[in-house]
Every structure is written in structure tokens, then in C-alpha cells.
Homo-oligomer: A and B are copies of this chain.
Amino acid sequence: MSKIQIAKAKRLRSTPYTSRLEQQGLTAYTIYNHMLLPAAFEDSMEDSYYHLKENVQIWDVSAERQVEISGKDAAKLVQLMTCRDLSKSKDGRCYYCPIIDDQAGLINDPVVLRINENKWWLSIADSDVILFAKGLAIGKKYSVNIVEPNVDIMAIQGPKSFALMEKVFGKQIRELKFFGFDLFDFRGSKHLIARSGWSKQGGYEVYVENTNSGLELYDYLFEIGKEFNVKPGCPNLIERIESALLSYGNDFDLHDNPLECGFDKYVNLDNDIEFLGKQKLSEINASGVSKKLMGVKINLDRINLSQAIEITIDSKRVGELRSAVYSPTFNQVIGIAMIDKPYFEVGTKVNIIIDNVTKAGSLCNIPFV
């Protein structure tokens, strides 16, 4: 942690839960989509990691903002922005979709919710997708309406999330399939709930549109969650790197393409659908990628990464470390690195210079677990 404070302002938007969180032991924020995203509580990151893997946590992930695209050309615009074939998509389902530009550079990697053929929500990572969508729609003269609706996501994550949510919403919430969503009633208010979330420990995301009902639900979950050892939490760096949940802006950005990031199964080239960057992706697919995201294990017992760190072999730069954390599971530092061709082979020995000391590491596949 930097020990440097965050200077609050209206521009760094608060969420409906902010004042509650600050009374619940929140100690650090990050900023995501111009909004406060909790990043640490009084418990250490490692304690919170074990807690998440064994219990249940409530996360304020309001910063996962929605871009709502509705209207006659909504489906066409959403498809234009992603290399994933959505022609067989169904209402009530979530789709993880790389959004790319005409050069196949990654703009975002939202979870796309198909509410219906003419109304979609893009639950976005940290970039202003709304501006890209607006620019495209204006330029193409599409008949769409594009807004950021008043939706603040509350995530319930961890193995005990199922029992906790059943206690509130009944047995039918157990029947929701992974990446399915439906409306569920809480004291007379309907909430869109998806079985999803930014951990691999299982759980739900409540897309809160009725703020007052959401706050009541938040309080109620803590009240009845005591038997499941519920705690406030946030996306956990150890858990997300072990699971290789990639982070836009950290692990990849506009200078990387989906094939370099291992998104191959979301790159659908053999079809007639129209999307940006299709030709470029076909060329890259034919010639092969020139760099690739890999896991790396490093002989270190702590790290604090705030910018990319060079990775070398015999003093030659072969890539860069983009995310890293000490993993208690592996008893060493693990990280996600973009590695140049031809060095992106599992088992390749590399060096990483940290605080002027050269450390040894080796490349591996992701996810780590």
C-alpha cells in the first residue's frame, strides 16, 4: 500500500454504499470508471483471501458501470463492437465479450447482458465504452439510445453465497445457471440478479436499480449473514491472479489484441457477422501472435507492483510483468506477463529486476489454479 491518501471529489463518484463501507473498516480505494471502488479493509489481503475462499463476502462493485444500448439497431451495434459471435445469444444470459477497435486493439472486456433483442447492458471494465458506442452509432447513423443507467452492482461472493442468497430469495436462486440472470423479488422490489462475479469462488451480482431497496438488501444481508460469517470485501488480488481473471488496464489495453490475451474462444472468425477488426484478427490468426499473456512464478516473498516491470533473458528484454502478488498457495510471487515471441513457452526461465536486484522466474500457463 502506498500510504498516500485519495483526494475525494464529486468527479470520483461515491456509491450508495460508500458511507456504510467507511464505517465497516474500509482503508483503501481504487478508482474505476470514475467511481470509488473499495480496494482494502482492515483485514489483510491474505486474511480476506482465505475468508473469501471459505465464507461469503458482500462487495460494492457499483464501479462496474452499465452501458445500456437500446433501440432498433441495438443488437447490430453490440455485435459491431465485439469479435464474439452473438447471433445465437439468448435473453437472460450473460456473455463475456472482448470489445475491440478496427485494428483489433482491446477497448474493454465487459460482461454483456442480453435483456432482450433491443436492450443490452454492457457491464464494463475501466474505460469509457459509452463514448466509443456513441461515436460509432453517430457515425453509422444507427437508431439506438445509449445511456449509463442508474445501476449499482452489489456482488455476493464465496462458497456460502448460495446459502445466504437462498435465505433471502428462496430456492429458485439456486437454480440460476452460471452467467444466467433473472428478476428476483426483495420486499416488493424486483432486482436483476446474475450468477456471476469477479472471483472464481462462486456467487451472484445484484444489479440494483432501486437504490433504497438495494440499501435495505445490503443491510439485511449483513444482518442474516452472521451464521455464514459474512464480511464486507472487494475483488482480491491474490484470488484474481491465481484464477487469472484478467484486468483491463493492468494486464491488457488498447495496444493488445484478443488473441494475445488468450481470448481465442471469444474470437469467432468463421461466420458472416460484421464486427470491427475482423480482417485484422484474421490476419493475426493466420500469421500467429507476436506476444502472449503468460503466467510467471518468481522467487520472491513479496511484491508491490504499480507499473510494468521488464522481464529479461540474458539482459535482453523479452516482455513485461503487468500484475503480481505474493500467493500463499504457491509460497512465492505469481504474476501475469506479456511475453514476446518466441519466448512465450511454458518453463522458460526469465529474470525480473526488482529494486535493482535480479530475481529468477519461470513462465507457466494461466490460470494458476
Contact = CB atoms under 8 A, between A and B. Distances in A.
A215 interface: no
Nearest to A39: B7
Contact of A306 (B8, B131, B136): B8
A219 interface: no
Contact of A249 (B1, B2, B11, B322): B11
Interface residues of A, number: 55
A323 interface: yes
A134 B27 CA distance: 38
A134 B127 CA distance: 13
B4 A29 contact: yes
Contacts of A133: 135
A245 interface: no
Contacts of A138: 101-102, 135-136, 139, 276
A244 to B, nearest CB: 16
A11 B131 contact: no
Contacts of A31: 6, 12, 31
A140 interface: yes
A30 B10 CA distance: 11
B10 A29 contact: no
A307 B9 CA distance: 7
B131 A10 contact: no
A307 B107 CA distance: 28
Given A13-B307, A276-B138, A7 B26 contact: no
24 contacts: A2-B5, A4-B5, A4-B6, A5-B5, A6-B6, A6-B28, A7-B29, A9-B323, A10-B306, A10-B308, A11-B30, A11-B250, A34-B126, A34-B127, A102-B134, A102-B138, A131-B135, A132-B132, A132-B134, A136-B138, A136-B139, A137-B139, A138-B139, A139-B139
